[in-house]
Amino acid sequence: MAIKTKDYLAKVRSKTGLSDYKIAKKYDINQSNLSKYKSGKMALSETHAWLFANILGLSPAEVVANTKLEHAKLTNNSSKAKFWQEQLESLVNDSMPLKIDIAQINPIVGDLNGNADKIIDFSLKAFETGAHLLVFPELALSGYPPEDLLLRKGFIAQIESKIEQIRKQLPETMSILFGAPAFINGCLYNSAYLIQHARVRCYHKQRLPNYGVFDEKRYFTPGQTPMVFECQGRRIGVLICEDAWDEAPVNAVVGYGAQTLISLNASPFQVGKHNQRLQTIKQRVLENKVDFVYVNMVGGQDELVFDGGSFAMNSKGEITHQLPFFQTIIHSLNTPMMIHSTETMEKTIYDALVLATKDYVEKNGVFNGAVIGLSGGIDSALTLAIAVDALGSEYVQAVMMPYEYTSDMSLEDAKAQANSMNVDYHEVNIHPMVSSFNMQLSPLFTGMQSDTAEENLQARIRGTLLMAISNKSGKILLTTGNKSEMAVGYATLYGDMSGGFAPLKDIAKVMVYRLAKYRNSLNYVIPGRVIDRPPSAELALNQEDRDSLPEYDELDAILALFIEQKHSVEYIIQQGYNKDTVRRIARMVLNNEYKRRQSAPGPKISQNAFGKERRYPMTSKFQP
């Protein structure tokens, strides 16, 4: 890759911190010549090429060869251009090993301007540090998943414009690889764009996932052809995410002569996913005896959270670089980095929830913080901790809304946590409102026993108040319910289900307790009594969750078998669980699909989360 005079000048300017005027003065360069160097109208003289090489710590022979090649091209001397191109390639291949940088970035879906600026800025920084190739994740320009934005012609047109903008702003000697949609001959592809020597090449993803949270076949056409390109004498093959999970695309690109494989990924987090990636890539590496670079996206996007964790593996299947999880980072593979995966499951899940909450609130750009109904119970306590860690205490408001069934312990513990986390805290007694509602409804309820209707009324009043505060303050209301409760419908529609985002939506109740204990291990913020006391909705006198539900360790185990592993009722009973309990729980899950369809989005961490991943009919007579 030939480097031009203007590129060398830019490097000198960056390294010395001098303006062009001061460079001319300090190094006795004619100002007119320097202006021609800057505009690309003249190549460096041999003297100045040697001078710049010394300033930049480069091989003088290589800088001279580059400038001789540039001069030959400017004067249209093809024979000399060919000669100096050969000399340059020989020098470069002998003296400069390939330097690949990984850009583990956090793009925003649809923010084409912001994402393009990131790609350009990071590319220029990598160029200044001597990178030959910078690699971004899958669909880095559009964000992932762009969903039905892909069906808008204006969206695709803007993407094409941004790709051209990126190409024009890159130095010709810088190679980058990034993901973006490509519309070619009436077909839309999930593509990897290579910009190299100021030219653009495309590779189209061959294996399109259409399971779980993925529905790429709705939008994209599969590619058919492998792509291999050369950088610093190294032949590099390109893959995109799912391609690497199938041996055929990998074998094909190796068959084209690839020595190193690079995979661009937007692989969402779920518990245990990273180990699956490592095992799959190791298998491909050992099958083909090639080096492998795996670049993954990071950040929250609606119900998904991407954990990063990019890595490199040598041809022996050994991990040579492991990048951090849940962090934006640009890293050179010429610099060792090994983040040992000794983190506990609790830490990994907690970090995922914090990042998902932070990005949902901040990326939307319409909220100035979060408000939470703090009950004195474990779910709202954990949600408050997540919100503060995600947004900062100054952007979080907690509201306690006691009624006659609210215990003194709940009041004390809610206030204690709010104080320990330094959040804006208020108490609003809902007794007058509940009494007024009951009075207005009494003619309609005459002769009927009090039941869950009166209990749910309390939750709905609280939900109304919290939504009013959200509207007035501009803060998003975070829903505090967990997966176990949502599974069996142990939540009040338009009550405690009110809100814009549910951080615990995919967190089973037993894991809620484990996460609370983990958070307290960092610093003690959740009162111990909140963790130790029996859980209760406190909507009736002496009420506890176990009055209506099995103990949560049993409930969560049954739900995991039924929801996440999709086993039948009979299979679950055969595992030793009470048949009546299993059948009741299964009925509750299926009967409450309509509630979940109206619930707030929340981050996926399990292998089968409620939301876009789990699509069950609300009306169904199926008996599992």
pLDDT digits (tens, 9 = 90+) for 165-189: 999 988 878 899 999 999 999 999 9
On the question of pLDDT at 546 being above 80, the answer is no
On the question of pLDDT at 557 being above 80, the answer is yes
Q: Which of 205, 358, 363, 505 is catalytic?
A: 205
The pLDDT of residue 93: 56
The pLDDT of residue 85: 80
Domain region containing 108: 100-342
Domain end among 528, 545, 562: 545
Q: What's the mean per-residue pLDDT of the chain?
A: 89
Q: Model confidence at 58, in pLDDT bands (50, 70, 90)?
A: confident
Query: Annotated catalytic, 241?
Result: yes
Written as one letter, the residue type at 5 is T
> Residues 566-579: what's their mean pLDDT?
92
The pLDDT of residue 280: 94
On the question of pLDDT at 591 being above 60, the answer is yes
Is there a single domain that holds both residue 91 and residue 106? no
On the question of pLDDT at 95 being above 60, the answer is no
The pLDDT of residue 423: 95
Query: Annotated catalytic, 4?
Result: no
Are 518 and 350 spatial neighbours (Cβ–Cβ below 8 Å)? yes
The pLDDT of residue 533: 84
Domain end among 95, 128, 162: 95
The pLDDT of residue 370: 97
On the question of pLDDT at 287 being above 70, the answer is yes
On the question of pLDDT at 536 being above 80, the answer is no
Are 271 and 282 spatial neighbours (Cβ–Cβ below 8 Å)? no
The pLDDT of residue 525: 93
Q: Which of 50-59, 383-392, 393-402 has the lowest mean pLDDT?
A: 50-59
Tokens 């100045």 belong to: 48
The pLDDT of residue 534: 80
> Residues 269-297: what's their mean pLDDT?
93
Q: Which of 70, 138, 216, 538 is catalytic?
A: 138
Is there a single domain that holds both residue 353 and residue 333? no
Is there a single domain that holds both residue 394 and residue 261? no
Q: Which of 241, 303, 358, 485 is catalytic?
A: 241
Rounded to whole angstroms, what are the CA distances from 79 to 41, 82, 114, 152, 197? 20, 5, 44, 49, 20
On the question of pLDDT at 32 being above 90, the answer is no
Is there a single domain that holds both residue 336 and residue 252? yes
On the question of pLDDT at 18 being above 80, the answer is yes
The pLDDT of residue 460: 93
> Residues 422-432: what's their mean pLDDT?
94
On the question of pLDDT at 480 being above 90, the answer is yes
278 token code pair: 């490592």
376 token code pair: 């004195």
Tell me the three state secondary structure of residue 459: helix
pTM confidence score? 0.82
In a domain, 70, yes or no: yes
Number of separate domains in the chain: 3
Are 203 and 191 spatial neighbours (Cβ–Cβ below 8 Å)? yes
Q: Model confidence at 307, in pLDDT bands (50, 70, 90)?
A: very high
- The torsion region of residue 611 among left (phi > 0), alpha (psi -120 to 50) and beta comes to left
Is there a single domain that holds both residue 87 and residue 179? no
> Residues 330-347: what's their mean pLDDT?
80
Domain end among 525, 545, 565: 545
Angle 367-373-376 from CA coordinates, rounded to 5°: 145
